[in-house]
Structure 1
Amino acid sequence: MQNIVVGYDESAAARSALEWVADRCADRTCTVVLAMVTSALAPAGDHSKNRLALHEAERRVRDRSPGSHVESHRVGGTMPKALVMEADHADLLAIGVHRGRPIRTALGGWMPSRVIARADTPVCLVPDDWSASDEPVTVGVDDDASSDAALMFAAREAEAGGGRLRIVHAWSMPTPTMEGAVALLASPLQVKEGHRQILRDAVRRVRQARPTLDIEERLIAAPPGGALCAEGPRSSMVVIGTHRRGVLEAGLIGSVARDVIGEVDIPVCVVPPVTAQ
């Protein structure tokens, strides 16, 4: 059974996240927790209104996914710390994002980079204009281990949903380096073949783990963010790994995630390395 936390308020983006979770749990058995972060200083009338909103949200998930266990509660504290702590032992955290304002989410206007940088749980950002699709799950594969967890997460999602997996690896020619007066230029054919091997290795790992899964592979000469955005219209979800390098939160979520979040009308799942299996 998969445990999913949904950060919820009554905004359009949060409702999209709720509907996405209900849709993906329709043919699975899940535990869904709807968490609404509230302040202890909020007026008493707000508490009553929030309870009604959560009860209505529970009903919508149960109607769509009758086999799932659904509960809801208010979480005291501030965003995003309270929500990250609530999802600490979950398998997935789902939140809504306003596509016209990708730097902001539905939940009080906080920045999605803050929760992605802090969470040890995969975080799925669902745009407010999301609609259901039977297109493949698309995952971006890097040339290091940062995308290993994302690859396996995407494979599980594709198989559990009875769909297909598209594995994308983007490549470009390296910038020439200088040693004295000599520019070291790599052969384009050699570089492309090296990247093709990275893609083949990723496909091989998934086939070993999930031999019945339908896999499509795509080697694209483009920046990674642009390649994944181009695949967005033909995908039901985009899955991205993260290096978690750098000092600032923006650096922790990675440039590819920043390029994709808010640019596609499908969920974008950012998977930290610690979730590798």
Structure 2
Amino acid sequence: MTAVTVGVNGSPESFAAVRWAAREAVVRELPLRVIHVQDWPAHPEHIEHIAGRPLAPEPLPPPGRSREAEHVLREAVRIAELHQPGVRVRTDDMAGEGLAAQVLLTEAGSSGADLLVLGSRGLDSLTGFLIGSTSLPVAAASECPVVLVRGHGHGDTDAGDNGSATGKLILGIGLKRSTGNDELLSFGCAEAARRNSRLQILHAWSLPAMYTYAETADPGIGDELAGHISQTLNRTVEPWRERFPDVSIEAKAVVGAPGAELVYASPGADLLIVGRRTRTLPVGPRLGHVAHAAIHHATSPVAVVPHA
């Protein structure tokens, strides 16, 4: 059975991801699967907790389980049920099964996860967000969409889902290739329909170098190109307006670098949606520069959607 799957390791960011994933599970009318997976050595923030254990011997936990894992999973269930009463939750402890990224990818693929949700650690406005050895490879190789949720605080606040919903989703698309946009538009329109949200479709472009001198001779050539791009964008989006008549869809073409423009648009959005091509490369799966910019610097949760 499909589910919304969330990976937790006991960090505040992972619990922020649980809150977001629980809401998404309710919206999608799916169960929530919480997977505990912890790389070794432990993250520095857990060292104090481990070092603070009493030296007196304690009863050994059952094979493959630990008190820390059980506590993390109990807390995840408590948070999910507190924020989304009635959500169906099941838990799995996968600690010790291998590298966290590999375990999450295997579990999400074998279980037919509808969506995989992970937390990401915030640094500061200059440096951006730390996407570590788990989130980055998972987002680059997952067969299902991956959502990275920002952790802004501790406890049971609405950290990680940016507080109350604003009712706006942002989706970035390109127009150079004929493939890929259908998967992105399908995901974005369906998400907006489930949430009763507005969808802003953003395409960023810049004037080709060959137009630089031509624009000097004819200042209106840039406006002509802008009009052509806007028409192409609207033609691309129009079939999806017909498929989702109840969704308010705005298509907007802006001049600028795609990654930067999506980051500028992200504050206040409920979700920023970007694509990732599923092509096979000699060096393995990778994220494009637009997805990299979004997941490192956008302030909203970011969905990375695989497409052809």
TM-score (norm 2): 0.76
Match of 2:106 in 1: 85
5+ unaligned residues in a row in structure 2: which ranges?
Answer: 43-49, 51-59, 153-159, 212-219
Match of 1:58 in 2: 77
Aligned length: 262
Any idea what SS the aligned residue of 1:272 has? strand
Q: CA offset at residue 273 of structure 1?
A: 0.9
Match of 2:133 in 1: 110
- Contact 2:21-2:117 at 8 Å conserved across structures: yes
Match of 2:5 in 1: 5
Q: CA offset at residue 80 of structure 1?
A: 0.8
Match of 2:22 in 1: 22
Any idea what SS the aligned residue of 1:261 has? helix
For 1:41 and 1:233, how far apart are their aligned partners in 2?
35
Alpha-carbon RMSD across the aligned residues, in angstroms, is 2.7
Match of 1:127 in 2: 150
1:167 to 198, 201, 217: 201
Mean CA deviation greater in 256-265 or 18-27? 18-27
Post-superposition CA distance 1:57-113 (Å, at most 9, x none): 1122123323432111112221211101111111100001112176744xxx41533
**Aligned partner letter, 1:64:** H
Mean CA deviation greater in 46-55 or 95-104? 95-104
Mean CA deviation greater in 58-67 or 77-86? 58-67
5+ unaligned residues in a row in structure 1: which ranges?
Answer: 178-185
Match runs of 1:251-262 below 5 Å: 252-262=286-296
2:122 to 96, 99, 109: 99
Q: CA offset at residue 21 of structure 1?
A: 1.4
Q: Rg: which structure is higher?
A: 2
Match runs of 1:1-277 below 5 Å: 3-38=3-38, 47-75=66-94, 76-88=97-109, 89-100=112-123, 104-105=130-131, 109-129=132-152, 130=160, 131-132=162-163, 133-143=165-175, 144=177, 145-176=179-210, 187-245=221-279, 246-248=281-283, 252-273=286-307
Q: CA offset at residue 247 of structure 1?
A: 4.3
Post-superposition CA distance 1:9-52 (Å, at most 9, x none): 11111111111112334455221111112479999567122112
Structure-2 change in CA distance of 1:85 and 1:263 (3 Å): same
Structure-2 change in CA distance of 1:197 and 1:111 (3 Å): farther
- Contact 2:13-2:120 at 8 Å conserved across structures: yes
Q: CA offset at residue 117 of structure 1?
A: 1.9
Identity among equivalent pairs (%): 26
Match of 1:183 in 2: none
Post-superposition CA distance 1:185-234 (Å, at most 9, x none): x9423432332123202321221221111112221111111111111114
Any idea what SS the aligned residue of 1:258 has? helix
Match of 1:180 in 2: none
For 2:244 and 2:133, how far apart are their aligned partners in 1?
38
For 1:140 and 1:248, how far apart are their aligned partners in 2?
26
**Aligned partner letter, 2:254:** I
Q: CA offset at residue 168 of structure 1?
A: 0.7
For 2:2 and 2:196, how far apart are their aligned partners in 1?
16
Q: CA offset at residue 171 of structure 1?
A: 1.1
For 1:62 and 1:247, how far apart are their aligned partners in 2?
44
Structure-2 change in CA distance of 1:236 and 1:39 (3 Å): closer
